[in-house]
A = this chain, B = another copy of it.
Amino acid sequence: MPKVVPIQQYQNKPFEELRDIFTNDLQHVEEFTRSRLSSDVRLINEMSTYQQDSGGKKLRALLTLASAKLNGYEGLSHIHLASCVELIHNATLLHDDVIDNSTKRRGRTTSNIVFGNQASILIGDYLLSRCFEIMVDVGSLEILKLLSSVSAEISQGEVLQLQHEKQININEQTYLNIIEKKTASLFGAATKVGAILGKKSENEKSALLSYGKNLGMVFQITDDILDYFSTKNFGKDIGNDFLENKITLPIIVLFQKANDEEKKIIEGFFKVKGKKADLDYMLSLFKKYDVMNACKNRARYFSEVASDALGIYKDTRLRKILKELCFDLVNRAS
């Protein structure tokens, strides 16, 4: 009988490990992006510098870099595509912040507040157009097809979300469909491009698409959870989604578990702008029904599917980090 190898434990957090491995590449991504966004229009440079400086974790870019490495790719296109993936993400954020009238993101004042809604809409369009230019330069029709489809899918997810806004009894499946389109699809593309660059088989491409998509589901669900249960301030206040009347997974799960009387009260809350006092009542209901754990269980399901999708790859250190990342995201504090 073959020896059973015990599951290895990690000393470092997988995200931090990933960031350490790709520090140089990530710097190239940033330099490349900066050079490609440069324009002879002053306001564009001001805004894209502001947007770039606001940072963010660059998780999507990291995933593209990691996937390219996992698939043995050795050219330079992964740098350019990691830039594309972040540009699509940032274009979405710029338009989202206008739509939601957000004032803070990643602890900083949002572009729509600093430069106005009009400029933010246009810069979002600009980032997306530059992203397409970069993709065209990379020259792979398969990747162009993938990323343009994903871009259309993100818009569809956003519109679907708008179509169901303030619908407190929204079906959980509809909600999952929304976040799959608006968030997970880009994660899926970010990782799949690595397998395409590495000229891998359809089977490996599918595996990486599945890894990224499911990881994206985990990411969005934990994002929803963190809004109510964050232990660390990451530039947002607790219950911001509630105060903005946004219906996310914790609310959907709670509404399904609540009794008729509570349902009526919750419905009432979502008919007017969210109030701080009502938030406290919501937090007590979350506690009563252990909503955080219920949501985390959903996230864990996607973590498991994501992690197992990498099962067809050899057991390298990088694969281990990417697998571990799936579970670690569920418990992320920011």
Taking Cβ atoms with an 8 Å cutoff, the residues of A that contact B are: 39-44, 47, 91, 95, 98-99, 117-119, 121-126, 128-130, 132-133, 135-137, 139, 141, 144-145, 148-149, 151-152, 154-156, 158-160, 162-163
Contacts and interface: CB of A to CB of B under 8 A. Distances in A.
Given A148-B133, A162-B119, A125 B44 contact: no
Contact of A125 (B95, B119, B133, B148): B95
Nearest to A164: B43
A156 B99 contact: no
17 contacts: A41-B159, A42-B163, A43-B159, A91-B125, A95-B121, A95-B122, A95-B125, A99-B122, A122-B155, A122-B158, A122-B162, A123-B159, A126-B155, A129-B154, A136-B141, A137-B145, A141-B141
B133 A155 contact: no
A159 B44 contact: yes
A321 B234 CA distance: 62
A37 to B, nearest CB: 10
Given A99-B118, A124-B125, 10 more contacts: A39-B156, A99-B121, A122-B158, A125-B155, A126-B155, A129-B151, A130-B152, A132-B132, A132-B144, A132-B148
Contacts of A118: 99, 162
B41 A126 contact: no
Contacts of A158: 122, 125
Contacts of A91: 125
Q: Give the number of times this chain occurs in the complex, counting copies.
A: 2
Contact of A162 (B43, B130, B149, B151): B43
Contacts of A119: 159, 162
Q: Which residue, A121, A130, A160, A162, has most C-beta atoms of chain B within 10 A?
A: A121
A164 B99 CA distance: 25
Given A125-B128, A136-B144, A141-B139, A44 B156 contact: yes
A191 to B, nearest CB: 20
Contacts of A144: 132, 136, 144
Q: Which residue, A124, A125, A133, A141, has most C-beta atoms of chain B within 10 A?
A: A125
Q: Which residue, A117, A129, A163, has most C-beta atoms of chain B within 10 A?
A: A129
Contacts of A117: 99
Nearest to A116: B162
B162 A148 contact: no
A159 B99 contact: no
A163 B42 CA distance: 8
B163 A145 contact: no
Given A141-B139, A155-B125, A163 B41 contact: yes
Closest 3 CB pairs of A and B: A129-B152, A126-B155, A129-B151
Nearest to A178: B41
A144 B152 CA distance: 17
